Structure formats: C-alpha cells, structure tokens
Structure 1
Amino acid sequence: MRKREQHHRALISLMQIEGIGKHTARNLSEQTDHNCSVLFEKSRDELIESLGLTTELAQKIVDFDGWDHTDYILDRTTQLNCTMIGLGDKEYPHRLYHIYDPPPLLWVHGNTEALAMNGLALVGTRNPSTYGREMAQYWVEQLSGLGLTFISGFARGIDTIVHKTAIRHREITIAVLGSGIDRVYPSENRSMIRRLIDLGGALVTEYPPESDPLSHHFPERNRIVSGLSAGVIIIESGLKGGSMITARCANDEGRELFVIPHALTFEKGQGGNSILKRGEGKLIQTRQDLFDELPWLASDVGVASAGIAGSAGTGVAGASTGVAGIAGSAALVGAGDSAHSLRRRWEECTMDEISRMICQCLSEVNKPMTLDHLSEVTGYSVHDVMIRLISLEMDQLIEQRPGNRIKLR
C-alpha cells in the first residue's frame, strides 16, 4: 500500500476514535508530515512523548481495532468511483486547508481540480420567495462566463436553483453534501449529478460512504461551502438557518461576505439585512460591486472596471416581496415644497437610467405606485426596480406610502 493510501487509511481510523476531532486530526497530520499511519506504529509512551497526547487519547490509538470497518470504507470508495483527498495531499484545496477545522478527508465524485479553482458560494433559504428565486438565477447569470466555480450546498430552494442555473449556462458547479457520496439528499437532485460532472463540476463531502444525511451534518458542511470559496453571497435568508451559519463561517474564515438586500419588513430577507446592519457583509446590486471588492475577479477575466450592471430581464409581475419598509422612514418633506421643487431635486441628482425612469414615471403619474406597476411601466424586472428603489429611498428621493406604494418625496 502506497504512503498516500496508508495516510488515508489512518485518517479514516483516527476519525473513528472518540476524542479526535477535525482540528486534532489536522495537528496530528502535520506532526507526522502527513503520514498518519505512523501513529498506529507507536507505543502509548511514544505517542505521549513525541506528540504530546494525553494518556487517555494515546491509549485509544494503541487499542484501536476498527480496521475492518476502515477497509470496508476504502472498498466502497473504490466501488463508487470516488477520489479521496486527505490533509497534506497536493490536491487538497488550499483555501479549505487554512480554516480552523478543515475536513481530514474529502470524498470527491467528479473533477477534483474544480476544488482549487476560484469560486463563489451562493446560498439561501430552502423556501425562497419569488424574489429570492429570481435573485439566485440572476446572480449566476451575471457571473457566468467569468471562469468561476459556483459553490452551494445542494439543498432544496436557493442551493438547487444555483446549481441548476449554473448547469443550464454550462458553468462548473460544486455541490457540498451533508451525507455520504452515495446518500445524496434531497433525492430529487440526483437527476442533475451526471450533467454537473460532465461539465467539470463535482460532488464533495467529508462524510464516508453510506453516511446518512443527519441533521447535524448540514451545519457542519457549511464551513466547507464557505471554505472552498473566495467569497459568499447570501441570496435570501431569515434570521435563523444554514445560510446564517455559512455567513458566520465566512466571517470566521476571512472570506468576503456579500448580501442581496431585501425589504426591511420581509421576513425571509431579515437575515441578510441583519448582516448588513451589523456591518458584517457588503450590499451588492451589480456585479461591478463584486469587482470592486474582488479586483482579481475583474482583472483575471479582463472585465473593464467601469459600470457593469446587467439586467435579469425576467420581470415578475406580482412578486410576493413588495417593497415594504425598504430603508425605513425618514422625515417628511415640508408641506410647502412644490411639485416643481421635487422634480428639480431628483432631476439634478446623478443616477442610472433605470432610477431616472422610475422617478420620471412617479413624477408624471403624480400618485403612489406599487413595485409591480413600476416594473410593468418601466419595462424592467422586479429585481432591477427594487434595487433602485432601495437606493432612491436611502437618498431620500422617494418614500413608501400605505399599501406598499411608492411616491416621490
């Protein structure tokens, strides 16, 4: 058995020993120059003296007798046509290795090289709104063709939309599982695996074959979603859930964290808004915002640094989010302000074409309008209109009226 295979066999065994967690496994791997098999060749005293292990832990390593199960896992890995990547292997993703508790082993089905590529993680709720679904598609489409990998958790909802949209645009996508490679969850996503792999993507997990999708696996796998990426985009999330765990992992791991803004009173967007409120993430409206924060992204693909906004181009009538409380209320314009002075105020501001068209519509109609009506009249998608409304209200150029209607201030 080659050194690499012996190392993998030892790592599988170590992870079966109570008291050895992921952080300890990395320390042991580094102390043995990534050849953990030598641990099982040492006496208890040698383990204590050379590695500083406690007497109890050293004795557990000496007494380990689960080799049959270890070899069964190795055999199943071969049968499933998977690749194992262990700590210290040259294929081990550099970014992931440097998080606090990197997985000792990864099981990969597909292209192992995809794990080392520059990628962004796009995550969100399992039960997205119309707006959330539109945003998941929009951002994958906006970032397609830039040589990125799209990383997500293969869960229902936003994750699935991210993977499917990436596949539809023939992009590389990485699905991080919370189960063994042969226990794909949810089962309905199995149908996209072949296409995902054919396009150069991969399924990846830290759990051995035949590991069921247990509830505690999903929060654990979120650190891998973040750890593989150069940055994380929160598409839509409530105050609790896996996306907020991924956001915390991103901050802990030093990843750039980006948030798609939502209406303040919209429950499914409160998680992302809370991140922005605490200053833990950056609001993004266009992919230029990403280029500003990740300059290597623009330079690597030769994208000009000046205004790239793009459009979802899918206008959704009757989107469920509305614009309730987009940026909170501000002091009302004095009663003496005339319609002429209001028009002059927004007309004199610097803004993009869509924002100007929104203000023009509100000025001409001269009465409050709904988000859907503005989308219909301007011809732009709900997303494009809503993003501009957020900026316009922050600039105190518009205000919300009862019934989620918008008017010029």
Structure 2
Amino acid sequence: MGERREKLKSLLALNTIPGLGARRIRILLDHFKDPEEIFKCGRGDLLVIEGIGQASALSILSFDRWDETERVLDRLSSSGIKMMGLTDDDYPPLLKQIFDPPSLLWIRGSRSALSLPGIAVVGTREPSRYGKETTVSLGKELSEAGMCINSGLAYGIDTIAHHTALRCMGKTVAVLGSGIDRIYPGRNRFLVKQIVESGGAVITEFPPGTKPDAGNFPVRNRIVSGLSVGVLIVESGVQGGSMITAEQALDQNREVFAVPHPLKNISGSGCNYLIKTGAAKLVQGVGDILEEIPGYNKQNKMAGRKPSLSRKNQDWRKESLNGLQQQICECLSEEQIQIDHLAEKLELDTGKLLVSLLELEMRDLVVQRAGKIFALRE
C-alpha cells in the first residue's frame, strides 16, 4: 500500500502542475515507467525527452507542494473516493490506448466497471419524444446484451441512458466534467447514488473542488468515447457536445453509430449528417450495433455478463509465415490489440504493419474489428 501511495502522490503532483497536461504526463510515464522517478531526475534528463521543454522541466523541478498532496490522499481514505493511476494494472485497457489518456482518475463506485465492454450513449440535452423513446429502447437492449452504458450524466439523452441501464439491472458509468465532489447537474445526485450502489461507477479526471466550467466538457467527452468500443449518437444537432464526442471517437478509432431522424427534426440533423458523410453507421436496431462489437456472442444476452472476447486460435503456427507475420501472430495470441498499439509494441511503421496484417487477413488468420482492433480469427 505504501508503494502505491507514493505512485499516486507523484501522479497527483504531476496533475497539479499548470500547463503539463495529460499528453505530456503520458510521455513522461512512457519514458520513466515509475512516476516517482520523474521528480528524482535532473534537468538534463527531462530535456532529452521529446515534448518536454524548458518550461515543463522547470515546473517539475520546482514542484514543492508535497504537503498538499499528502493531505488530499489522507482525505480520500475516509471519503469513499478512489484514485486510479495510468500505471495501475486495472486501468481500463481501451482508455489506455487513446492519444491522451488521463493519468489519474477519481472514482466513486466500482473500478472494474471501467473495463467492462461498453457503448457510449450520448445526445442532446433537449431530446424529442422520438429521441427519448429510442434511447430507452436501444439502451434496454444494449444492457440486456451485457453492454455497459457509458455517458456524461448531462440532462437529456445522457440521463435517460443511465436510468435505462439501471432499470434493466445493467451497469453504467458516468463521466463528469467537474470534480468528483461537484456533481453536475445537481439534480442528478440521486442518480449518482444509484449508479454507485448498482455496481457502476462515476468518474472524473478533474480534482475535487473543480467547477463544471464549459471548457471541461469537451475534455470529458474523450473519456466517454475512450472507455467504449463504440459511440451511439441518439439525437444531436450539427453542433454540440455529442458531435465533438463523435469526432473524438473517430480519432480514437472507435465505431460511431447514429440513429436516423425525420428531415424536419433539427435536433437530429447531426445524426443525419454523420450518416450522410459516412462518419457513422446507420442504426435501425440494436443488432446494427452488436454485430460490430469485437467477439460479441449472441448467446451472452444476460445483463452485466461480459461478451466473450476469446481469440486463442493457434492455427497460424501450422502456416508458413515470415518473421514479421510470426511476430504479429505471437502478439495477437496474447490479446486483441489496436493497430497503433501493435505498431508501438513491434516498433514498426503503421503503413508497413498494415501490409502484413492485410496478408494475414487474406489468409484467414487474422480479423479486423471495429476501431482498427486486430485479433486472431477464432
């Protein structure tokens, strides 16, 4: 516990340094592996890291608010709030794959809920009757299929999605754009209590006391999509938070789904635009979503049950493969993996890697799933 506390203290310190940000912290953690080492190194050690300039190095070297971080950790032990660091073994694997994963998460509820196969369900704060009914219908079927419903706790579609998951005895995760102690909107405090008591979770990367400022919500949205295997836009105009979430999901190689709307429904014009431009798959029923979920098994239609993601096929060992193809299959025999992460693991250019993956797909040894995730064919 002492060792983990020291790691959390160092992560908390990094998050309090102005201007450092999630991306630079990720770069530092990739370089040092252990967050405590960052504060023990010298100026030269920091400056050789690409992306860490003079200002960032000076901010790290001059940090002296250790007493404050100790007090925060002491308060946590009696508050029921948990902290999860990027270096923790149970950090959600999908979220870890994004460009700028939060190095620290504040959590109420179940840590394990963050790693459940989930679908983000988002939309307008002022949904039409059609939007409300569609959210309930699709949310119910997704929950019954064992998918965790991830959303942002906002009024409208988000709140309906969370409530629907709870009514179906499913799991749901709410991501805040404020501190864990500043529930926004305030009317959803009881909903937060229900989510936590049901085995779900309420999380944020913002430290306690952070107000729900407008600029926090686009930042929050990348976590909603990052936790999820796909994002469902139920009802949205052409501008707003849901469209930002869709854009971030595409950047994260996540599948985007959208519900079509009548032409006169302005609040659904964003969904139609996503479908028209090919940015989202048109959804007429829950099957349109589930068929894109990696390894989804239709027999696993029990609320809260995790879809089977097994891919231990060893047939590739019997094939005549070159060295790179063998390396790829070795990696995929351990886990399904997103292409950028695979390229990093094998220290290869993505373009070169894609050529070999295509060859393996053509030989029916590898399959590509939503979000450019590759796995051995079962």
Tell me which interval the TM-score lies in, with the shorter structure as reference length. 0.7 to 0.9
- Which residue of 1 is the match for residue 286 of structure 2? 287
- Which residue of 2 is the match for residue 382 of structure 1? none
- Which residue of 2 is the match for residue 185 of structure 1? 184
Pairing 1:270-285 to 2, within 5 Å after superposition: 270-285=269-284
TM-superposed deviation, 1:141: 1.5
Q: Structure 1's 300 and 44: CA in aligned 2 closer, same or farther, altered over 3 A?
A: farther
CA distance in 1, matches of 2:124, 2:219: 17
CA distance in 2, matches of 1:32, 1:51: 13
- SS at 1:203 equivalent: strand
| 1:69 paired to 2:40 | no
| 1:20 paired to 2:20 | yes
- Which residue of 2 is the match for residue 268 of structure 1? 267
- Which residue of 2 is the match for residue 212 of structure 1? 211
TM-superposed deviation, 1:15: 2.0
Contact conserved, 1:76 with 1:209, CA < 8 A, in 2? no
- Which residue of 2 is the match for residue 240 of structure 1? 239
- Which residue of 2 is the match for residue 80 of structure 1? 79
Paired amino acid for 1:63: S
CA distance in 2, matches of 1:49, 1:207: 29
Q: Structure 1's 179 and 19: CA in aligned 2 closer, same or farther, altered over 3 A?
A: closer
Pairing 1:63-142 to 2, within 5 Å after superposition: 63-142=62-141
Gaps of 5+ in 2: 303-378
Aligned residue pairs total 302
Q: Which moved more, 1:293-302 or 1:127-136?
A: 293-302
CA distance in 1, matches of 2:49, 2:172: 43
Paired amino acid for 2:32: T
Paired amino acid for 1:269: G
- Which residue of 1 is the match for residue 227 of structure 2? 228
CA distance in 2, matches of 1:209, 1:288: 40
TM-superposed deviation, 1:3: 2.7
- Which residue of 2 is the match for residue 319 of structure 1? none
- Which residue of 2 is the match for residue 4 of structure 1? 4
CA distance in 2, matches of 1:248, 1:187: 28
Determine which structure has more spread, i.e. the larger CA radius of gyration: 1
CA distance in 2, matches of 1:49, 1:99: 24
- Which residue of 1 is the match for residue 258 of structure 2? 259
Contact conserved, 1:77 with 1:209, CA < 8 A, in 2? no
CA distance in 2, matches of 1:84, 1:144: 27
Identity of aligned residues (%): 43
TM-score, length basis structure 1: 0.70
> What does the per-residue CA deviation read over 1:26-51, in whole Å, with 9 as the maximum and x for residues that have no partner?
11112111x21112122223333578
Q: Which moved more, 1:56-65 or 1:133-142?
A: 56-65
Q: Structure 1's 115 and 9: CA in aligned 2 closer, same or farther, altered over 3 A?
A: same
- Which residue of 2 is the match for residue 313 of structure 1? none
Paired amino acid for 1:174: V
Paired amino acid for 1:296: G
Contact conserved, 1:73 with 1:208, CA < 8 A, in 2? no
- SS at 2:113 equivalent: helix
- The higher-RCO structure (CA 8 Å, 6+ apart) is 2
CA distance in 1, matches of 2:132, 2:97: 32
Q: Which moved more, 1:228-237 or 1:64-73?
A: 64-73
CA distance in 2, matches of 1:162, 1:224: 17
- SS at 2:174 equivalent: strand
- SS at 2:106 equivalent: strand
Paired amino acid for 1:233: L
Q: Structure 1's 212 and 50: CA in aligned 2 closer, same or farther, altered over 3 A?
A: closer
Gaps of 5+ in 1: 304-409
Contact conserved, 1:73 with 1:209, CA < 8 A, in 2? no
Pairing 1:302-313 to 2, within 5 Å after superposition: none
- Which residue of 1 is the match for residue 170 of structure 2? 171
- Which residue of 2 is the match for residue 200 of structure 1? 199
TM-superposed deviation, 1:299: 4.3
- SS at 2:202 equivalent: strand
CA distance in 2, matches of 1:227, 1:161: 21
Contact conserved, 2:127 with 2:235, CA < 8 A, in 1? yes
Paired amino acid for 2:17: I
